[in-house]
Structure 1
Amino acid sequence: MECSVSVSIRINRLEQKDTNKTSTLRFDAVAGTVAQLSLKKSPSRYSQVGSPNYSFPKTPFDGVFKPGVGNEDLYHLATQAIVLGSLQGTHGAIICYGQTRSGKTHTMGGIVTMAIHDIFSHIKAHGNRQWEVKVCIIEVYDEHIRDLQHRNGFGGDIQIIEDEKEGIVMQGANDVIVRSEIEALEVFRMGNSNRTRAVSTNVEHHPRSTIIHKVHIQSQPKSPNGKECIAQLANLYLVDLAGSEAALKCSPEDRSQNVSRDGESHKAMQSLNGVVTALSSDELRGMVRYEDSVLTRILAPAFGGNCKCAAICHILEDDESHRETWNTLQFASRVRKVVNTPTINQLHSEPSGGVDLTSSSKADFISSNHLDNASPTASKHKHGTRQQ
């Protein structure tokens, strides 16, 4: 069954030095809209963008979260269904978009923590199945993929391949089998501490790369040997995108050091915008260029593919960020038009091959009763999907 990408807007505010400043943004959480009062400042200040009036999109979004709404409410209302779907064999993606310092990383930190908690709570509650959970954390920066489990990015080249069974696979990334919530979160914590950051005189240390937390989930019913077993598998992508702004807010000295690499970062974001623009247009839908960047190749299932996808687009309430707010809402309105076709991904083991659950294979699968491990090894598998 086809479904649109779910799009929510999260509004944050920076600490204002001038406490008398008021925002011209107006938002309606019930209607899912964001609007703006007339600007009292000179229109020429914004004329270089080519749209002096900054007419905001009229698209109603799936959710609008005003300042003060916590991560827990946002997670349950906007993203939890994606996580729960991955436990039923449907690929999922949750993507945080917005300018630097708009709150993307804070949001994603909360989503990752609560998603991992839900996954292992579900495993404990479903003792009639065996589970395998693997996690990895990668950075997409300068058109390269870096495994963040290695502090200096060592560990070999990571290649993107398409696998009939698992979809997009980052071959060479270190997929770690985790047996508990604590183990999974520790992998992600260590990875995020190794993220590449820019140094700017105006904007402290800030991320200039995209971070992808990948959770691979596979489960199967507990079944006697020799009987056919149908397993379900899914990838869950939790994505903290690089800043969406057109240029870093840094001094000329900083820019001279960072421009070549930042140009690649912006190339990735521009490619993502190009993919979304094509998918949202009837005229351009046949000209989607996923191959233009590493990022769009990885995220192809999330935009126009077989994922359930939720995008959380972040904007700042202050008028100084008006240009980026306008750009973000334009992106959000286009993403809202992107249609995906989620499927339930299944593995069928041949009856003749059976499912080996002997002690020699108990390193991969989690038994929800005892959190023991066992991995099925079938002599032959075939891949199947069905519409959801």
Structure 2
Amino acid sequence: MEKAHMSVDREEKILVLVRLRPLNKKEIAANEATDWECINDTTIMYRNTLRQGSNIPTTYSFDRVYGGECPTRRVYEDGTKEIALSVVKGINCSIFAYGQTSSGKTYTMTGITELAVADIFDYIFQHEERAFSVKLSAIEIYNETIRDLLNSDGTSLRLRDDPEKGTVVEKATEETLRDYNHLKELLSICQAQRKIGETWLNERSSRSHQIIKLTVESCVRELLGKENSTTLMASVSFIDLAGSERASQTMSGGGARLKEGCHINRSLLALGTVIRKLSKGRQGGHINFRDSKLTRILQPCLGGTARTAIVCTLSPARSHVELTKNTLSFASCAKEVTTKARVNVVMSDKALLKQLQCELTRLQTELRNAASNCDCAATARKKDVLIQKMEKQIEELRKERDLAHSRLEASKVYITTTGSFPITFLYRFC
């Protein structure tokens, strides 16, 4: 099958949400002061304005900000829900959490992931006119090494540049989801496999970047196997980044924590550089997504063709004011980044063959017309160039047509409908 893209003319800024958690037990025990406050739904304020030499702005504004008592469901409902559900309409999308260690990223992303997948399943139940297939993969980037979280063998995975899909992770396990409970089982496996370590700020700190990817394919049931059948195919990625740390905190954890912290900070620095340049548009200069494996994987989410939401999590404690400021600076740049979403349509071999034949006929007609209109030498030279170009296009189209035709002849359609949807909803598309 061949993928085609249909523009939906949806140019938009990255959605940026900020979540300020309450003081945790360790901060309360240390009698920490609270320096940050959400003064309305879009603005967070720095309260310690009497701090000498402070270069921190008094207020920051974003799409939405949330105080310590706000539940995760509200964070999800206010913006990330709409973006996550774009996947069932054939639009790639991503939601990721950014912030310092112990600021609540994993807690937030776990809740958003479970709520989003539940809503995707609800959508599927309500649209019986379409046949759906939902698959899940999960990886982590630990010390610049990519590991499959659904496979316990610990093998390092490689990145590959695909002309159609962009950067892909080779040989990553992909599980077809049966139902919501199956998802919960797989997320538990991912959590058990992920690298966790004790740090100065957090007894169970995530030491890797985790990416949970859900791929959704759907096709109108009545058109399965027919010439005009097309499939919508898109993915939603839930990205829980490792937390940023100060160098002194990293060094206090010993050799392993130091190595981890260096890799984490280096990849987050590369991400920050990419975001800063993207926020400046054409004035930002060359953007090197290849500086880290994280930015290579996130390239389609940042200034690409995916809808993206970023949830920045903060600690209100005075001792973390510099890390909080850095997170807010990152968020301020991120809200200036523009993406252009598009619908991804996969054409059946029959539809592709028909399209290629029409295009071949059109070019052959233009070629005959061009050859018959060569009246003078100058025009003839221009026409010769045009004819050579068209002949090359025709030859390429013939090869594509022949390839599509051979696939069509060899293909067979199998449709499995074993029981009700809660048990299985796997379909194989053609």
TM range (shorter): 0.7 to 0.9
Amino acid at match of 1:235: S
The DSSP-based 3-state class of the residue aligned with 1:243 is coil
C-alpha displacement of 1:18:
5.1
C-alpha displacement of 1:185:
2.3
Distance 1:248 1:126, change over 3 A: farther
C-alpha displacement of 1:200:
3.4
C-alpha displacement of 1:37:
2.4
Amino acid at match of 1:316: S
Which residue is equivalent to 2:105? 104
Which residue is equivalent to 2:416? 362
1:47-103 CA-partner distances (Å, limit 9, x unpaired) = xxxxx4132375521100111110111111120011111110000000101001100
C-alpha displacement of 1:281:
1.5
For structure 2, the 5+ residue unaligned runs are 1-9, 354-407
Residues of 1 paired with 2:210 and 2:101: CA distance?
Answer: 14
Residues of 2 paired with 1:104 and 1:248: CA distance?
Answer: 21
Give the TM-score normalised by the residue count of structure 1. Answer: 0.86
Which residue is equivalent to 1:271? 270
C-alpha displacement of 1:248:
6.3
Which residue is equivalent to 1:295? 294
Residues 1-388 of structure 1 mapped to structure 2, 5 A cutoff: 1-13=10-22, 14-15=24-25, 16-17=27-28, 22-30=33-41, 32-40=42-50, 43=52, 52-56=53-57, 59-154=60-155, 157-164=157-164, 166-200=165-199, 203-222=202-221, 223=223, 225-247=225-247, 249=249, 252=252, 254-282=253-281, 284-349=283-348, 350-351=350-351, 353=408, 358-359=413-414, 362=416, 371-377=424-430
Q: Which structure has the greater CA radius of gyration?
A: 2
The DSSP-based 3-state class of the residue aligned with 1:341 is strand
For structure 1, the 5+ residue unaligned runs are 44-51, 378-388
The DSSP-based 3-state class of the residue aligned with 1:81 is helix
Residues of 1 paired with 2:210 and 2:95: CA distance?
Answer: 12
Amino acid at match of 2:292: S
Q: Is the 8 A contact 1:5 1:309 kept in 2?
A: yes
Residues of 2 paired with 1:59 and 1:366: CA distance?
Answer: 53
Distance 1:226 1:159, change over 3 A: same
Residues of 2 paired with 1:151 and 1:11: CA distance?
Answer: 35
Residues of 2 paired with 1:368 and 1:240: CA distance?
Answer: 30
C-alpha displacement of 1:197:
1.9
Residues of 1 paired with 2:216 and 2:419: CA distance?
Answer: 11
Q: Is the 8 A contact 1:226 1:354 kept in 2?
A: no
Amino acid at match of 1:10: R
Q: Is the 8 A contact 1:75 1:111 kept in 2?
A: yes
Q: Is the 8 A contact 2:134 2:177 kept in 1?
A: yes
The DSSP-based 3-state class of the residue aligned with 2:249 is coil
Residues of 1 paired with 2:206 and 2:313: CA distance?
Answer: 15
C-alpha displacement of 1:19:
8.8
1:187-245 CA-partner distances (Å, limit 9, x unpaired) = 12211111112233663231121100100111111115333112111110100001123
Residues of 1 paired with 2:103 and 2:46: CA distance?
Answer: 18
Q: How many residues align?
A: 362
Q: Is the 8 A contact 1:135 1:214 kept in 2?
A: yes
Distance 1:57 1:286, change over 3 A: farther
Distance 1:100 1:369, change over 3 A: closer
Give the TM-score normalised by the residue count of structure 2. Answer: 0.78
C-alpha displacement of 1:251:
5.8
Q: Is the 8 A contact 1:202 1:251 kept in 2?
A: no
C-alpha displacement of 1:138:
0.5
Q: Is the 8 A contact 1:357 1:375 kept in 2?
A: no
Residues of 2 paired with 1:341 and 1:168: CA distance?
Answer: 18
The DSSP-based 3-state class of the residue aligned with 2:135 is strand
Moved more, 12-21 or 266-275: 12-21
Identity %: 26
Amino acid at match of 2:12: C
Distance 1:72 1:354, change over 3 A: farther
Distance 1:282 1:306, change over 3 A: closer
Residues of 2 paired with 1:126 and 1:355: CA distance?
Answer: 31
Residues of 1 paired with 2:420 and 2:168: CA distance?
Answer: 26
Which residue is equivalent to 2:367? none
Residues of 1 paired with 2:410 and 2:426: CA distance?
Answer: 15
C-alpha displacement of 1:36:
1.4
Structure 1 vs Structure 2 CA RMSD:
2.6
